Amino acid sequence: MKQFRSFVIKEFHQIFRDRRTLLILLGMPLMLVLLLGYAIKTELNDAHVAIFDPSKDAETKRIAEHFRASGYFTVVSELNAPKQIDAIFREGDASLVVVFNGHFAESLLRGKGEAAVQLIADGTDPNQAAMLTAYAQGVLASYQNGLMEQYHVPLYINVETRMLYNPQMKSSYNFVPGVMGLILMLICAMMTSVSIVREKETGTMEVLLASPLTPLQIILSKATPYFALSMANIITILLLAVFVMDVPIRGSLFWLGVASALFVLVALALGLMISTLVRSQMAALLFSGIGLMMPTLIFSGLIFPIESMPAALRWIPDLIPARWYISAVRKIMIEGVGVEYFTKELGIIALMAVVLITVSFKKFKVRLT
């Protein structure tokens, strides 16, 4: 019993001496509970909506005010022409457009369902689109009930729902771009960090440094296979998506390859940075698994809409590389837009790649000397 107690005390000392292990054991659960409990919201909150109102009468203005006052929607634009509807979706400024028919108030008072409202949602994320239209129908139903109480006669609004880019509401349209981001992060970041840490852990890094290769060449030789495997995985995923899951590639394959290559560079740089922070393969797996995979799942917009997150946490997705990559892939594959509509995403990914590669290589050289 005395020996057992001595081993337990020794193990506690071992844990308390390793600050990284202590942080994972005590700090990480607290952080995950706070993030998961506070950031993940299944209800709708402040979704961006645009309104096209050709009649501009008192009733349509009242409905627009109902949308603003609901707490679920933020009216970001009032459109002046039908051609602006497609443009605002392509630019990513709105997730829902509410379209009124002409002479809405007159049609409403005539009854017979002649007053029509069309709800146009971005179907690239079918779950979010279904939730948006359901909440919008709730706002319209609430307004309609108020009219019926006011006039004491049945007044009906004919609501039509339309899903852009994904009228069949296939979940694979949203699933494929997200899986591409996750697989690239998994292979590049996790495997690169483990591969380099393995050399340090087994003591073979010194042997490599004694070779004629420079440290930069050594790192590039480690990263190149993962770059090639990642691009091969992208090709495989795209073939499965097109021929098995019937997911279209409406945009440019060239720009899809450019976006993927840039994201691979970002993931490789993250893996290299992780390898400078840890000393064991297990720590590298934990760090990359929890530190990269969880934020990617939560804050990339793959599962939970960014608009539904509290305002205090909406800056976090901007720091997640997968958020921008998934957005670019959706625009290229599902929406089929030109490069001018995803230049922002490409620019941010490229900037992240430059910054992370510079910092990672500089920090790695310091660790090797």
What pTM value is reported for the model?
0.76
User: What does the buried/exposed string (b/e) look like for 173-199 if buried means 16 or more CB atoms within 10 Å of the residue's CB?
Assistant: bbbbbbbbbbbbbbbbbbbbbbbbbeb
Write out the E strands in 157-301: 157-164
What single DSSP character describes residue 101?
P
- pLDDT reading at 269 higher than 70: yes
Judged by average pLDDT, the poorest of 106-110, 202-206, 280-284, 352-356 is: 202-206
Q: Which residue has the tokens 């009228």?
A: 167
| Domains defined for the chain, CATH in brackets | 47-164 (3.40.1710.10), 171-368 (no CATH)
Stretch 285-294: mean pLDDT, rounded? Answer: 76
**Within 10 A of 275 (CB to CB), how many other CB atoms are there?**
28
Q: Is the pLDDT of residue 198 over 80?
A: no
- Radius of gyration, CA atoms only, the chain: 26
Cβ-based burial of 118 (10 A; exposed 0-12, middle 13-18, buried ≥19): middle
Mean pLDDT of 262-267: 91
Which position has the higher pLDDT, 175 or 11? 175
- Indicate if the pLDDT at residue 345 is higher than 70: yes
Confidence of residue 366 (pLDDT cuts 50, 70, 90): very low
